[in-house]
Amino acid sequence: MSAAGLRIAPAGGLTGELAVPGDKSISHRAVLLGAISSGPVQVRGFGASADTLSTVAAVEALGVEVEQAGEDELVVHGAGLRGLDAPHGPIDVGNAGTLIRLLPGILAGQRGSFELTGDESIRSRPMERIAEPLRQMGVEVETTDGRPPVRVRATGHTRAVSYELPVASAQVKSCVLLAGLFAERGVTEVREPLPTRDHTERLLRAAGVPVDRSPGRVAVSPAGELHLDEVDVPGDFSSAAPFIVAATALSGSNLTLRGVGVNPTRTGLLTVMERMGARVGVFRRRLQSGEPVADVEVRPAELVAADVEPELVPLLVDELPLVALLACFAHGVTTIRGAGELRVKESDRIAATAAALNGVGGHVEPLEDGFRIRGVPTRLRGGRVDAAGDHRVAMLGAVAGVCSQEGVEVSGASVLGVSFPDFADRLAAVSA
Ligand code: S3P
């Protein structure tokens, strides 16, 4: 990659086999729950990236020892449920939204004052969504005009609440559930308007915490201790997604992705792709640390437009830019609605996706809460994509590049390090 950007050449197809890095959402959670477990927790398949390393640095700042035990293996020496120390200065989360939303739920049960901040993009992201329920739980939380820096003053105990999420967000749900572990008594309940990723619930169960679940509702009781022992992190579906999409769009593809997490709260992309006529097979399904894992095989396909309705959005929230790209190749018009949350991700992903795809020859109309895309079943022209400081937009630009006539130059592509540092090399390795 030059300082100017990453140049992606057109490809005839993606072929061969590939394993993607460990799931980012689960890697964050394994380290955070590891930090408050009793005793050491072995984390295998840890997806090391700028975001997840911010979580390691955060728990270290809170007095937890984290040992690098192998290339993608960590041992987190848990300090116990209430064993975290107040650090000397602010905790810098970098670009990690999951860290800044989940950690306050854990800090709610410690003693002391904590300040969390991050990079410029993090400092523009809404934080009242976690501050509000934490205040209801008796925790003092201050935001800066609704955004980071965030200050948490905690006394070691919280009050159990029944909280209805105003937006479907796994980060907010997780924060409230984590704070519920520290309630003096009673059950903390979160009700969600639509199902969101459930990795926190699964990992809490693996750590011995009874988690009560019914449709639209999840509840935890105060915990005595967490015993996690080991976590085997599956491959990240969101990192597999750019490859699945590119291999579908390119006529010469025959690609297998091994060991991918296929938790149904994450695989909405496959639902939409099936409607579009894609040929994606999910084989060798198994369970790994309570998470569904499989191998994914992708063949090229001619696509037809298929709308994405609001109910599906949380199940593919991070893949919506890629759906917009696929829709560029599909016969007909695709409409995506109910995705207003994309406006407050690492970038305004509605604006950034439309700008990226229109800049390389697509026909994408940004809507307030989604997109309307007119598909033309030929390659995109190609050109230049600005990553807009957003790793998912950088990956989108690279996928557009392999599917283009002239190639794509992705500027600001170093932001790929946020979730998938060697993405460009892996893409080159399977590009034919
Ligand atoms: C995440 C939840 C989603 C997702 C983010 C990771 C998580 O955010 O977009 O990349 O790990 O819980 P929201 O919960 O805000 O939708």
Cβ 88 vs Cβ 46: under 8 Å? no
- Residue where a domain terminates, one of 189, 217, 232: 232
Mutation test residue for ligand 1: of 129, 197, 291, the one with most atoms within 8 Å of CB: 197
> Is there an atom of ligand 1 within 6 Å of 29 CB?
no
Render pLDDT for 227-270 as a digit per residue (tens, 0 to 9).
Answer: 999 999 999 999 999 999 999 999 999 999 999 999 999 999 99
Q: Identify whether residues 331 and 343 lie together within a single domain.
A: yes
Given the residues 23, 236, 318, 386, select the one marked as catalytic. 318
Q: Identify whether residues 14 and 41 lie together within a single domain.
A: no
Q: Is residue 137 part of a domain?
A: yes
- Which helix (H) or strand (E) segment holds residue 247: the answer is helix 237-249
Residue type at 33 in one-letter notation: L
Cα–Cα distance for residue pair 406/281, rounded to 1 Å: 30
Cα–Cα distance for residue pair 32/14, rounded to 1 Å: 36
> Is there an atom of ligand 1 within 6 Å of 317 CB?
yes
Q: Identify whether residues 240 and 191 lie together within a single domain.
A: no
Model confidence band, residue 3 (pLDDT cutoffs 50, 70, 90): very low
Q: Identify whether residues 58 and 17 lie together within a single domain.
A: no
- For residue 1, pLDDT over 80 is answered with no
Nearest CA to ligand 1 atom 4: 318
Residue type at 347 in one-letter notation: S
Cα–Cα distance for residue pair 59/369, rounded to 1 Å: 36
> Is there an atom of ligand 1 within 6 Å of 170 CB?
yes
Render pLDDT for 129-141 as a digit per residue (tens, 0 to 9).
Answer: 999 999 999 999 9
Q: Identify whether residues 67 and 109 lie together within a single domain.
A: yes
Give the CB-side neighbour count of residue 115, counting CA atoms within 13 A. 8
- Residue where a domain terminates, one of 171, 200, 232: 232
Cα–Cα distance for residue pair 106/98, rounded to 1 Å: 13
- Is 348 a known active-site residue? no
Q: Identify whether residues 45 and 138 lie together within a single domain.
A: yes
Render pLDDT for 54-63 as a digit per residue (tens, 0 to 9).
Answer: 999 999 999 9
- Residue where a domain terminates, one of 183, 213, 232: 232
Whether pTM > 0.95 for this model: the answer is yes
Which ligand 1 atom lies nearest to the CA of residue 174?
Answer: 12
Residues 6+ apart with CB under 8 A from 180: 137, 158, 160, 161, 187, 188, 219, 220, 221, 222
> Is there an atom of ligand 1 within 6 Å of 176 CB?
no
Cβ 398 vs Cβ 242: under 8 Å? yes
DSSP 3-state assignment of 333? strand
Question: Domain holding 106: CATH number?
Answer: 3.65.10.10
Q: Identify whether residues 71 and 191 lie together within a single domain.
A: yes
Q: For the chain, how many structural domains are there in total?
A: 2
Which of 79, 76, 65, 68 shows the shortest CA–CA distance to 31? 76
| Phi, psi values for residue 142, rounded to 5° | -125, 130
Gyration radius of the chain over CA positions = 21
Q: Identify whether residues 239 and 193 lie together within a single domain.
A: no
Q: Identify whether residues 143 and 191 lie together within a single domain.
A: yes
Token pair of 75, please?
Answer: 């041992």
Q: Identify whether residues 179 and 244 lie together within a single domain.
A: no
Q: Identify whether residues 256 and 382 lie together within a single domain.
A: yes
> Is there an atom of ligand 1 within 6 Å of 98 CB?
yes
Percent of the chain at pLDDT exceeding 90: 98
Q: How far is the CA of 405 from the centre of ligand 1 (A)?
A: 34
Provide the domain limits for residue 280: 6-22+234-430
Q: Is residue 197 part of a domain?
A: yes
Residues 6+ apart with CB under 8 A from 343: 349, 350, 351
Q: Is residue 304 part of a domain?
A: yes
Q: For 188, which DSSP code?
A: E
Q: Please state, rounded to an integer, the average pLDDT across all residues of the chain.
A: 97
Cα–Cα distance for residue pair 249/254, rounded to 1 Å: 11
Q: Identify whether residues 289 and 396 lie together within a single domain.
A: yes
Render pLDDT for 105-130 as a digit per residue (tens, 0 to 9).
Answer: 999 999 999 999 999 999 999 999 99
Model confidence band, residue 2 (pLDDT cutoffs 50, 70, 90): low
Q: Is residue 1 part of a domain?
A: no
Q: Is residue 121 part of a domain?
A: yes
